[in-house]
Amino acid sequence: MKNCLLLFLFFFIVIQCLGQDTVAVKNKLSDSLTERFYVLKSNPAIRQGPYMALLNRKKLIARGHYQNGKKNGVWQFFDTGGKMVERYDYDRKKFNYEAPLYESADFSYLFDDSLKIGTRVTRPLKVGGIYYGFISYLNIFQVPFDTYDVDTDAFEANIELLISPMGRLADYHVRLTSAQYDYDHIFKMDINLFSEEDRIFKPATINGVPAMSRIIIKCYVSPYGKLDFY
């Protein structure tokens, strides 16, 4: 709670320094994630000033700054427990910090090449960490049926992202399953629906050489037919 109060105080001070040229905006990125930022009063399409994303309106997930509509400076990203997982410098286009990979039932990584004992492997990285950085891939999908009178808790979804050795999103599909409804379908999505930023990754490596990899994200289906993290 103390951290949140300090954040809001920081935002208040900064916006006073910016003068009266900006307007505060709140936007829901998912059922549980809300972003707060500022836009130019003269052009609401341009973000200007401090930014933060909050889980359940209180847990900090991302913090950074916009300059004339573009992310600039060093941004910080956190997991749902408040631990910093990544720092990225948008000016230098460089990762300043990457938290060690810890076991997660919701995120897994696959490699097309067979791995042998002693092989040195690095995972593919997305700016934003394993929570904030992947929101776009959840938001783009909507179940292809009306969820009225449907128990969405009976469904499970798995997103699979194919990342090329060049660090590009090469394929995106969702497998939606439910034993209760005898449902099992795979939906392949057009990767051109994503922004250029969402199609860029730091590729995985095998023994120092960029390699093809896959990221599997386990999700639940919300009552509105959208995907979200467990």
Q: Is the pLDDT of residue 119 over 60?
A: yes
CB 189 within 8 A of CB 172: yes
The closest of 98, 152, 100, 103 to 126, measured between CA atoms, is 98
Q: Looking at 29-33, 59-63, 221-225, which range is the least confident one?
A: 29-33
Q: Sign of torsion, CA 148 183 169 114?
A: positive
What is the per-residue pLDDT for 45?
93
pLDDT in tens, 74-101: 999 998 888 899 999 999 999 999 988 7
CB 175 within 8 A of CB 188: no
Q: Is the pLDDT of residue 109 over 60?
A: yes
Q: Is the pLDDT of residue 67 over 90?
A: yes
Every domain of the chain and the residues it spans: 1-99, 101-230
Query: Percent of the chain scored above 70 by pLDDT?
Result: 90
CB 33 within 8 A of CB 61: yes
Is residue 153 classed as helix, strand or coil in its secondary structure? helix
Non-local (6+) Cβ contacts of 4 within 8 A are 54, 58, 60
pLDDT in tens, 121-173: 899 999 999 889 999 999 999 999 999 999 999 999 999 999 999 999 999 99
Q: Is the pLDDT of residue 206 over 60?
A: yes
What is the per-residue pLDDT for 1?
53
Averaged pLDDT of the chain: 89
Q: Is the pLDDT of residue 4 over 80?
A: no
Tokens of 120: 């040195």
Query: Percent of the chain scored above 90 by pLDDT?
Result: 71
Assign 114 a pLDDT band (cuts: 50, 70, 90): confident
Residue 13 carries which side chain, given as an amino acid letter? I
d(CA 29, CA 36): 10
Q: Is the pLDDT of residue 5 over 80?
A: no
What is the per-residue pLDDT for 36?
96
Q: Tell me which of 5 and 181 has the higher pLDDT.
A: 181
What is the per-residue pLDDT for 179?
96
